[in-house]
A and B are shown apart, each in its own frame.
Chain A
Amino acid sequence: AQSVSQHNHHVILSEAASLELGCNYSYGGTVNLFWYVQYPGQHLQLLLKYFSGDPLVKGIKGFEAEFIKSKFSFNLRKPSVQWSDTAEYFCAVSLYNTDKLIFGTGTRLQVFP
């Protein structure tokens, strides 16, 4: 069965530190890749998505992600985090031409001033 793994369950950083959250998926075919963010008390919002083309994708709020097909990975990065980035981050995968999104278990990020 297809699955999405997020190995970092809880990450704690100071402001201005760099961030990298891991995401790996298990599926050999063509996929679409997403990162969603859930700020405290708010609904899930799309940070960025990858369908095809340049494997380095830029999203909102200074986030970016790199698709490495050979590693089945789609890691999320930000050069310098802010306190307002405190949230839970979910990686998700949909199989090409399907509707269903498969989510990872999420990574809780806490940023301290």
Chain B
Amino acid sequence: DGGITQSPKYLFRKEGQNVTLSCEQNLNHDAMYWYRQDPGQGLRLIYYSQIVNDFQKGDIAEGYSVSREKKESFPLTVTSAQKNPTAFYLCASSSKQGWGYTFGSGTRLTVV
């Protein structure tokens, strides 16, 4: 079955450490996205990529970095510069402009 796989489902990180969240899709979608979900704040866009080897900052990119070396993969690194990294992170992809997204099941990151 086609879909988006995010791993791990739960992740714990010590303060000061970088951590990378995985997102893989087998839908042959060109565009991929990373959102952060916090209670009462909805989903906020971190980074997005419309094509391999290209990506753009979203609304809350500070403290995060991404790469898009392959069409199927769009990993997100939460760096130690991110002041409040504890959140639920969602990866999504889309095949055509404006047609909506397919979401992964998310990664819950907790900084301890």
Contacts and interface: CB of A to CB of B under 8 A. Distances in A.
A10 to B, nearest CB: 10
Given A98-B98, A99-B98, A106 B42 contact: yes
B48 interface: yes
Interface residues of A, number: 28
A105 B105 contact: no
Contact of B43 (A46, A94, A103): A103
Contacts of B78: none
B100 A101 contact: yes
Interface of B: 31, 33, 35, 40-45, 48, 50, 58, 90, 92, 94, 97-101, 103-106
Interface of A: 4, 6, 9, 32, 34, 36, 42-46, 49, 51, 90, 92, 94-106
